[in-house]
Amino acid sequence: MKLTIEKNGFMKVLQRIQGIVEKRNTMPILSNALIEATNGRLNIIATDLEVYIKDSATANILEEGSITVNARKLFEIVKEMPEETITINTGKEDRVTIKSGKARFTIMGLSSKDFPGFPLIEESKLESFDNALLKELIDKTSFAVSTDETRFNINGFLLEREKTKVRMITTDGHRLAFIEKDSSKNAPNTGKESVLLPRKGVMEIRKLLDEREGDCLISVTQKNVTIKKEDTVINIRLLEGEFPDYKKVIPTDNDRRIDTDKNMLLSSLKRVSVLSTDKIKGVKFNFSKSKLILSSSSPDIGEAIEELNVDYSGEDIEIAFNARYMIDVLEVMEEQTAGIYLKDPLSPGIIRADNSNDYTYIIMPMRL
């Protein structure tokens, strides 16, 4: 294999795959990227066997071929190259030589025949999907997804599509984020789909949505979800397991409604939580007529209290929440008014944007 390629285009492709490359070295070849020179393009593939990414850049192919090389080292080498044109060629025993100007690197590769094959994609099954909508679905739910690898059934995003509706739901057992939007602009969906997407794969998709303009193409099968945008293709293996029945988690009888200015509440929570215990970030919410008192304390540091004006006319109620959880939802809420719906101090609370059922956030109370 021998080729020349422009540094900037090569860098962008190499940077895009860094988040996919396996870092734990369970299989040495998964630390590598497959580079393939053919038809005037340099194709690059990386995978951790859960997420696959394929991208390409224009190149002057002098001799076709393929090899796998350490993805991180290749990126670091290309990043520091002194000139805009880079030459790559392979030699005996899978040695790869990379040259630019007077700089020359030789690194050991591994044969491409041992690299996992990219999943077969049926181009005819790819449907157009609104880029802004997909970004909103991810942004409004990503903070609530579980990071506990042992709880694999909640270690991802539940994506549901039904007729003209699309929903995304995440939970970590202490909170739940739910968003439902109209997707009639996209290709019609006659049936009902419900798939569980792994967290890592979704976050790689989110990066891609920011990098490229225009809508993406999406395909959902029983085992995989594929996203394509221009030359970049991401294929994600779906999680197995049963996502909790989120409909049973959303309370239906929280009849105490408090309306508050979102930005005012967000700023106050950030201040009051400074003196909350580091691990649990507990803050007390004491609601009375037209008033909310936020308070936190730490035995070793001190206490913080702040009073806010709110729109509430019900009976007094005191409840404690994890401040970080509340801050997370307020930061992604675009509307100016946040509605808090409560039942009693021991029942989960609901947070919704101003008179909107599109976005619902459930948070479990704490004992302080």
Three-state DSSP class for residue 153: helix
Mean of per-residue pLDDT scores for the chain? 92
Query: Looking at the structure, do residues 236 and 130 belong to the same domain, yes or no?
Result: yes
- The H or E element containing residue 139 is helix 131-139
Give the per-residue pLDDT at 218.
Answer: 92
Residue 286 lies in a domain: yes
Could you tell me the pTM of the whole model? 0.91
CA-to-CA dists, residue 163 to 29, 44, 118, 184, angstroms: 42, 36, 31, 8
Residue bearing tokens 């806010």: 308
Residue 368 lies in a domain: no
Residue 119 lies in a domain: no
Give the per-residue pLDDT at 121.
Answer: 87
Query: Looking at the structure, do residues 264 and 236 belong to the same domain, yes or no?
Result: no
Give the per-residue pLDDT at 106.
Answer: 96
**CATH number of the domain encompassing residue 163:** 3.10.150.10
Half-sphere exposure of 160 (CA within 13 A, CB side): 16
Query: Looking at the structure, do residues 24 and 135 belong to the same domain, yes or no?
Result: no
Residue 121 lies in a domain: no
Residue 60 lies in a domain: yes
Give the per-residue pLDDT at 164.
Answer: 85
Give the per-residue pLDDT at 310.
Answer: 97
* Domain that residue 42 falls in: 2-114
Give the per-residue pLDDT at 185.
Answer: 72
Q: Per the structure, how many domains does the chain have? A: 3
Query: Looking at the structure, do residues 189 and 257 belong to the same domain, yes or no?
Result: no
Please list the ranges in the chain whose pLDDT falls under 70: 25, 186-192
Residue bearing tokens 């970030």: 281
Give the per-residue pLDDT at 7.
Answer: 96
What is the chain's alpha carbon radius of gyration, rounded to the nearest angstrom? 25
